[in-house]
Amino acid sequence: MSVNQRISNVEIRQEHTARDNLARLEVEGVLGVNLMAAPGAGKTSLIQRTVEVLSPSLRIGIVEATPSVGGPEPLYESEVPWVQVTTGAAPHLDAAMLSQALRRIPLTAVDILLVENVGNLIREGPCELGLQANVIIASVPEGDDKPYRYSEIYRDADAVILNKTDLLGSSAFDIEFFRRGVELIKPGVPVFPLSCRTGADLYRWIDWLALTRKYALATMTATSGR
Ligand SMILES: Nc1nc2c(ncn2[C@@H]2O[C@H](COP(=O)(O)OP(=O)(O)O)[C@@H](O)[C@H]2O)c(=O)[nH]1
Ligand SMILES: [Mg+2]
């Protein structure tokens, strides 16, 4: 078997597993959201804020992918279903790892599953997980050129968050340049500048998430005939 064939077999298996993951989420009426960002952009902070605002009216579950075990975890209230997955040398969480995590999360007690992917902006290997939405979190200290430099991953985005807007005044970040970059790569994708630290404009992300869950649920119900 050639190397190319082996690669494509892995991709086929991953795609199969991704579809299976999606089916498991949909049967339980769960919206799965893949949060992608560079390390330190604010994935964990955004999840914490989202839990604070939405729980318990919408029940959040969390999968946190980290390259290695350890750190001052868990970072969430004990009643929030939370599973940590160690990815080792893999650049991203993959469908098989997510599949294992889904077995450890009580999906019947979850409305929105937030998946904190490994901090990495390089799109590498089969990245399809079987989640319904991809969200990229950029942050002001990283600079305003990220959409131009990491266009592959921005192409996958259903929404883009610009975190740490509390630092805008003290940096040379040009928010219009950033927005133009996102628009160039993925026309029409919503951009939500906010601050997890101060809570400023957080509601735009929360509204989008709740609405996306509502539409996803309507689609799931229509397809499953429930
Ligand atoms: N100034 C500022 N710092 C933030 C904000 N959100 C997160 N941080 C800080 O950025 C660091 C990394 O945040 P974290 O959520 O752990 O990022 P992650 O690696 O993407 O999960 C922490 O020290 C946070 O306190 C924000 O809106 N403003
Ligand atoms: Mg984190």
pLDDT (tens digit per residue) in 78-99 = 788 999 998 887 778 899 999 9
Specify the ligand 1 atom closest to the Cα of 194. 27
Output the CA 60–ligand 2 centroid distance in Å.
16
pTM of the entire predicted model: 0.92
Strand partners, 2: none
Question: Of all helices (H) and strands (E), which one includes residue 23?
Answer: helix 3-27
CA-based torsion, 82, 86, 91, 94: positive or negative: negative
Mean pLDDT, the chain, rounded, equals 89
Amino acid, res. 164: K
Instruction: Take residue 23 and report the two structure tokens written for it.
Output: 């089916």
Identify whether the C-beta of residue 34 lies closer than 8 Å to the C-beta of residue 131. yes
Ligand 1 pocket check for 114: Cβ under 6 Å? no
User: Residue 196: CB within 6 Å of ligand 1?
Assistant: yes
How far, in Å, CA of 98 to CA of 107, rounded? 13
Smallest CA-to-CA distance from 112 within 168, 69, 74, 55 is with: 55
Pocket test for ligand 1, best of 45, 114, 165 (most atoms within 8 A of CB): 45
pLDDT digits (tens, 9 = 90+) for 47-70: 999 999 999 899 999 999 988 776
Ligand 1 atom nearest residue 45's Cα: 15
Number of domains in the chain: 1
Per-residue model confidence as pLDDT tens digits over 150-177: 999 999 899 999 999 999 988 899 999 9
Domain range spanning residue 85? 3-224
Q: Is it the case that residue 125 has pLDDT exceeding 60?
A: no
What Å distances lie between residue 99 and 104, 117, 133, CA to CA? 9, 14, 16
Residue 200 tokens read as 């400023």
Q: For residue 79, what is the domain's CATH number?
A: 3.40.50.300
